[in-house]
Amino acid sequence: MLAFVVRRILQSILVMLAVALIAFTLFRFVGDPVNQMVGADTPQAEVEKMREVLGLNDSTLVQFARFIWNALHFDFGISYQFRQSVTALLAERAPATLELALAAAAFALVVGVLMGVYCALRKDGFLAKLFQAVSLVGVSLPTFLIGILLIYLFSVALNWLPSNGRGQVVKVGDWWTTGFLTVSGWKALILPAITLGLFQMTLIMRLVRSEMLEVLRTDYIKFARARGLTTRAIHFGHALKNTLIPVITITGLQLGSIIAFAIITETVFNWPGMGLLFLKAVQNVDIPIMAAYLMLIGFLFVMINLIVDLLYAFVDPRLRAAMQG
């Protein structure tokens, strides 16, 4: 078990190094950092001085090491557009994105599992067929189109929910702002969370459905029925537990995607998160922000992968045994 954990952690570090290399390459070689920072009329001597100060004249390897060292201290340099520390810019917007992603994931998981189980148990029912059809359409609709559709319905036509921003936020601690404590915060969250979670929800629904149908066909379910266990015990005990293991994995892995896809949702709803910041960086070629965001998302993905793998090993006794033996 320990060997497995260590090996997985080493793998994760290796992937992070690869991501860091890409981020560094971006930072260092795509557009000259100094040219971005100085005006056109800055004297050449001053430019040279800046290069020296920034360490751009050192060898590439030294620069890469310094980049990693700085990254470990959450230092990603200064944004070209805002002339502000990238870390501060990201930290300021992180709560918005994380709260949105969390709400979207919760929505996707709860509704997806419920609908998936329903579709598996009432396979031929009208509602199950309807869910299936809607999920197919849902997968085909781009996220931004779904967002716009929801805005048109609930903001323009019905005027029930806001289409823009986070509502009223409350400061918690030194650097966290939350929308969970105000009514307007909750109202503002509903449409973006549904938009962001819908794709994952249909994914989870389809996965739960097909996994559960598979499990219901197994011998151990037939044997459980032959022993006269109640339908409830079979469906929601035996079948669901076996179904949820692969679902946990996929959902966990999707969490990273949700955060990445937040870029689109944040644009549609003008949600003041990291995704919007990243998009502005791409539009304005603000390399430090792009590099930092890449590192951040890379870190999230690697961590999620790691946790899911370890969790998976913990939940499934067969794997647990395989690793001990």
Partner 1 sequence: MSVPVLSVRDLQVEFVTRRGTLRALDGVSFDIAKGEILGVVGESGAGKSVTGSALIGLIDPPGRIAGGEVLLHGERIDNLDAESLRRLRGKKIGMIFQDPLTSLNPLYRVSEQLIQTIRTHTTLSERAARERAIGLLNEVGIPAAERRIDSYPHEFSGGMRQRVVIALALCAEPDFVIADEPTTALDVSVQAQIIALLKRLCAERGMAAMLVTHDMGVIAETADRVGVMYAGRVVEIGPVGDVIKEPKHPYAKGLMGAIPSLEAEIDRLTQIPGSMPRLSAIPAGCAFNPRCVDVFDRCRSERPGLIGVGDNHKAACHLHDGKGRA
Partner 2 sequence: MSHPNPEEIKGLTTALTGASAGAAPHLGPPRPRSLIERMKDSDIWLSFKASKLAMVAALVFVLMTFGAIFAPLLATMNPFDPAQIFLADSSLPPAWATGGDPRFFLGTDDQGRDMYSAILYGLRISLIVGGLGVLLAALIGITLGLVAGYVGGRVDALIMRIADVQLTFPAILIALLIDGVFRALVKTGNKEESAMFVLILSIGLSFWVQYARTIRGSTMVEKNKDYVQAARLVGLPVPIIMLRHVLPNVIGPTLVILTINLGLAIITEATLSFLGVGLPPTQPSLGTLISIGQRYLFSGDWWIVAFPGLTLAILVLAVNLLGDWLRDALNPKLR
> Which of 222, 229, 158 has its CA nearest to residue 190?
158
Binding span for partner 1 by CB under 8 A among 16-24, 35-43, 280-288, 316-324 = 316-324
Would you count residue 255 as binding partner 2 (CB under 8 A)?
A: no
Q: Which does 17 bind (CB under 5 to 8 A by kind): partner 2, partner 1, none?
A: none
230 binds, among partner 2, partner 1, none (CB under 5 to 8 A by kind): partner 1
Over the window 143 to 182, marking each residue x when it contacts partner 2 by CB under 8 A and - when it does not, the resulting string is xxx--xx-xx--xx------x-------------------
Distance CA 307, CA 253 (A): 9
Q: By CB under 8 A, is residue 280 in contact with partner 1?
A: no
- Cβ burial 136-147 (10 Å sphere, 16+ → b, else e): eebeeeebeebb
Query: Does 241 help bind partner 1 (rule: CB under 8 A)?
Result: yes
If one asks whether residue 263 binds partner 2 (CB under 8 A), the answer comes out as yes
- The 10 Å Cβ neighbour count of residue 59 is 8
Looking at residues 203 to 222 of the shown chain, list those that interact with partner 1 (rule: CB under 8 A): 218-222
Q: Residue 125: phi, psi to the nearest 5?
A: -70, 160
- Of 118, 113, 140, 142, residue with least CA distance to 129: 118
Q: Say whether residue 76 binds partner 2 (CB under 8 A).
A: no
Q: Does 318 bind partner 1 (CB under 8 A)?
A: yes
Do 104 and 204 touch, CB atoms closer than 8 A?
A: no
Task: Count the residues in the chain.
Answer: 325
Q: Using an 8 Å Cβ cutoff, are 261 and 108 in contact?
A: no
31 vs 165 by CB, closer to partner 2: 31
Cβ 246 to partner 1, closest distance in Å? 12
Give the interface with partner 2 as residue ranges (CB under 8 A): 15, 18-19, 26, 30-31, 136-137, 139-145, 148-149, 151-152, 155-156, 163, 256-257, 260-261, 263-264, 267-268, 278-279, 281-283, 285, 287, 290, 294, 297-298, 301-302, 305
